[in-house]
Amino acid sequence: MDISTEQIDSTTVVRMSGNLDTNTSAPAHAKLDSLIEDGNTHLLVNLRQVGFVSSAGLRILLATAKRLNGTDGSLKISNLNETVNEVFEISGFNSILNVFSTEEDALKDG
Amino acid sequence: MLVIIATLLAGLGLFFVGLQLLTENLKLLSGRRLRENIAVWTRNPFFGLAWGGLFITITQSAAAATFILIGMLRAGMLGVRQILPILIGMNCFAGIIIMVLIFDIKLVVFFLLGITGMIYSRDQAGGVRATAGAAFGVGLLFLGLNTTQTGIAPLAEMPWFEETIAATHGSYMLGLLVGLVLSFVTQSGLAVMILNLAFLNAGLFSIEQSVMIAYGAKLGSSLLTYVLSANLVGESRQVAMFQVYFNVAGALILVPALYIEVYTGLPLMLALGAAFAEDAAFQLALINLLFNVVPGILVFPMVPMISRALARYFPQTAEEQLSKPKYLLEQSGDDPHNALRLIELEQVRLIEILGHSFEAMRGSNDANRLSLLNEGFHSLSDSIRGAISDLSNQHQLSPVLYERLNGLLNIQHSLETANVEVQSLSRQLTLLKGTGLGERFSMVAVDGIDAILLTFMDVARERSDLDAELLAGMTSEDGMTRVRKAYLAEDASMDANARMQLLAAANHCERLIWLFGDMGSAYRNLGTA
């Protein structure tokens, strides 16, 4: 899995590509953790290049959201493809995480 | 010839009806209490030997008895160390039964059939009728075997049969092969021994050949067990392989011994048999008994060591480890608070089994692993229910503790329902995987529900408010309904059958989501871990 980051104003955009599953979730989790430790507490994870997110992948997103909970930070997710959106729908992640159609929509949101 | 065939058929008919009657009535007798008693009675290895005798008497087949024991092992009723003495007893008693059969037991069998038959027909229900029915079944089994033995005797006088047997005359190895093949095909070493005795009595085989047939019958039974256990792993395989090794070890010693005795004149088994009896049938029965009893006596004191060795070569599977209680063993009977806490910890392990089931559903949907996990779930679940029952019977709990116990009982019931739903979902997803859209639905459903399950596991383990709120949020939306509707939209390329399967799978998913959410609320009500 390839992960790139870009700072746009106060938000750190994390762009992932590949599948976010059991094999790739550990390095992805480590990357998100290190970003938070470096003081980047407003994260936007863009999943446009991600083909599938397994339960292990969902778990690292949830862990990141929990870590930011109670701080002034935030986690946003954007650009889900159809399959990933279905996993989010079934798991109820659409209800508990801030999910946006596009990166632009997410950045515009307060 | 027609009379021989008719008598043989009559004997087999009586045998099978007897077996059926016995099995059905034993099922009626087997409640939770009997299962607990079996576990208690087999804790002593000497009682295990006696149980082995009962098993082989009932089944008349070492392979069948071995698999009944494996079933009990998988049901969590017995452990490997309890089963090994039973197997030894089974092998020893198989020899004793042959000894009994060479005597005329008709009189005893007729008494048994008469008395138990009258009780069985007069009593309408209950344990007495079931016990009488089981005993009547045993009587029919023996009558069937006796009838078969009687029926085969005139065969010896048939010229064509004599000529066929004569063609094999003198070849011991052929005798071994005949015993092996017949035992494998009929699945009953005892039945082969009945025929063997009949042939020996009729003078169709020499004592040496009959002994080799007896050895072959043992090997055939082991071969059958080996073949039938090929797909078993872990403790089940340990039990099966013990039975295989038991007979193979006996044959490895005794087959060469027979050749040595015949060709060198060194007095061994044949001489021992002849020293005790003039009658060839008795000699054969005695040698057959020794084949089983001698290794049994040697092996019995080494059961703990053999058990460890088997565990090393055929290690317990992850599923078997999951199915064994981890905390309830330490349960303190004096402290209901502690007992409740240990029950809660075991329930978390049930949730872990559900998690492993979702792992098994991914990719090729490993049906065998799912089946093992299902067995493990039931086994652990039985232990938890037993602990809950013991706790409520042994203690007068405070109202607060009764409330807590009630909460755990409700969670237990929901977990058992969830396991049924998981197994049903797995079957539906297997059917769905043949279609393109079905494949995709399977993938998203398994990972979506698994994500909820993992959060539910966090709630059960840690009881944090944040996890409970997240779980409530995840399970309160009807995302599954939206996904189902999209898949079942008119323009979706699925045939009617696949649509029905998807609908059924989605229903299982919705019930699981509801159950996990409901149990999450129940854990929240139970309070801190």
Give the Cα separation of B86 and A90 in Å (integer).
50
pLDDT at B9 over 90: no
Q: Does A69 touch chain B (CB under 8 A)?
A: yes
Averaged pLDDT, B327-336: 68
pLDDT value at residue B138: 76
Q: Give the lowest-confidence range in B52-56, B371-375, B408-412.
A: B52-56
The answer to whether A20 and A87 are in contact (CB under 8 A) is: no
Q: What pLDDT is attached to residue B232? A: 82
Q: Measuring CA to CA, which residue among A26, A27, A30, A4 is closest to residue A15? A: A4
Quick one: pLDDT at residue B523? 93
Task: Identify the top-confidence range among B315-324, B329-338, B410-419.
Answer: B410-419
pLDDT band at B162; cut points 50, 70, 90: low
Residue in chain B lying closest to A84 (CA): B444
Residues of chain B found within 8 Å of residue A91, distances taken between Cβ atoms: 447-449, 451-452, 474, 479
Check residue B398 and give its pLDDT.
85
- A86 shares contact with chain B (CB less than 8 Å): yes
Taking CA atoms, B30 is separated from B47, B69, B87, B120, B332, in Å, by 19, 15, 21, 18, 29
pLDDT of residue B85 exceeding 80, the answer is yes
- Reported for A30-39, long-range contacts at CB under 8 A and 24+ positions apart, including other chains, are A31/A3, A32/A60, A32/A64, A33/A64, A33/A67, A35/A5, A36/A64, A36/A67, A36/A68, A36/A73
Q: What percent of chain A has pLDDT over 90?
A: 89
Residue count (chain A): 110
User: Would you state the pLDDT for residue B125?
Assistant: 64
Residue B293 pLDDT: 83
Report pLDDT for B445: 95
CB contact under 8 A, B444 and A86: yes
Over residues B176-202, the mean pLDDT reads 76
- What span, in angstroms and rounded, lies between the C-alpha atoms of B184 and B168? 19
For the ranges A46-55, B43-52, B81-90, the lowest mean pLDDT is seen at: B43-52
pLDDT tens figures, B118-130:
988 886 666 788 8
Question: Which chain B residues touch A52 with a CB distance below 8 Å?
Answer: 443
Are B191 and B199 in contact by the 8 Å Cβ rule? The answer is no
Mean pLDDT, range B35-43, rounded to an integer: 71
A91 and B448 in contact by Cβ < 8 A? yes
Structure pTM? 0.68
Helix and strand numbers (H, E) in chain A are 5, 5
Tell me the C-alpha to C-alpha distance, in Å, between residue B267 and each of B209, B273, B277, B283, B284. Answer: 17, 10, 15, 14, 16
Q: What are phi and psi for residue A23, nearest 5 degrees?
A: -75, -30
Q: Which of A36-50, B150-164, B395-409 has the lowest mean pLDDT?
A: B150-164
Nearest by CB to residue B480, choosing from A55, A58, A90, is: A90
Q: Note whether A83 contacts B475, CB cutoff 8 Å.
A: no
Mean pLDDT over each residue of chain B, to the nearest integer: 83
> With 90 as the cut, is the pLDDT of residue B337 above it?
no
Cβ–Cβ contacts within 10 Å for residue B26, how many? 16
User: Is B168 or B11 the better-scoring residue by pLDDT?
Assistant: B11
Percent of chain B with pLDDT over 90: 26
Question: What pLDDT sits at residue A100?
Answer: 96
For residues B30-42, give the mean pLDDT.
64
- Tens digit of each residue's pLDDT (9 = 90 or more) over A1-12: 899 999 999 999
pLDDT at position B326 is 83
Question: Which pLDDT tens digit goes with each residue over B239-298?
Answer: 999 989 988 888 888 899 999 998 998 988 889 888 888 888 888 888 888 888 888 888
| pLDDT at residue B27 greater than cutoff 90 | no
> What does the alpha-carbon distance between residue A89 and residue A83 come to, in Å, rounded to a whole number?
10
From CA B357, how far away is CA B255, in angstroms rounded?
A: 48
Q: Which of A21-35, A39-53, B45-59, B396-410 has the least mean pLDDT? A: B45-59
Confidence of residue A109 (pLDDT cuts 50, 70, 90): confident
Which pLDDT score is estimated for B352?
Answer: 95
pLDDT, tens digit (0-9, with 9 covering 90-100), for B391-433: 887 778 888 888 899 999 999 999 999 999 999 999 999 888 8
State the pLDDT confidence band at A110, using cuts at 50, 70 and 90: low
Percent of chain A with pLDDT strictly greater than 70: 99
- ipTM metric: 0.95
Question: Looking at residue B237, what is its pLDDT?
Answer: 92
More confident residue, B35 or A75: A75
Residue whose pair of structure tokens reads 């502690």 in the numeric block = B338
CB < 8 Å to A69, chain B: 466
Q: Which residues of A12-38 are buried (b: 16+ CB within 10 A; e: fewer)?
A: bbbbbeebbbeebbeebbebbeebbee
How much is the pLDDT for B241? 93
Most confident of B90-94, B129-133, B239-243, B319-323: B239-243
What's the pLDDT score for residue B313?
A: 92
The answer to whether the CB of A15 falls within 8 A of the CB of A5 is yes
Band (pLDDT 50/70/90 cuts) for residue B528 is low
A83: tokens are 């399959």
pLDDT band at A80 (very low <50, low <70, confident <90, very high): very high
- Quote the pLDDT of residue A79: 96
- B365: pLDDT confidence band, cut at 50, 70 and 90? low
**Minimum mean pLDDT among A91-95, B303-307, B363-367, B522-526: which range?**
B363-367
Average pLDDT over residues B70-87: 80
Cβ <8 Å between A90 and B449: yes
Residues of chain B neighbouring A59 (CB-CB closer than 8 A): 451, 454
| Cβ-defined contact of B440 to A94 (cutoff 8 Å) | no
Whether B461 shows a pLDDT value over 90: the answer reads yes
Looking at residue B418, its pLDDT comes to: 98
Is B492 part of the contact surface with chain A (CB cutoff 8 Å)? no
Nearest residue on chain A to B440, alpha-carbon basis: A83
pLDDT digits (tens, 9 = 90+) for B430-444: 888 877 788 899 999
Residue B472 has pLDDT above 90, yes or no: yes
CB pairs under 8 A between A and B: 77
Task: Kindly tell me if the per-residue pLDDT of B103 is higher than 70.
Answer: no
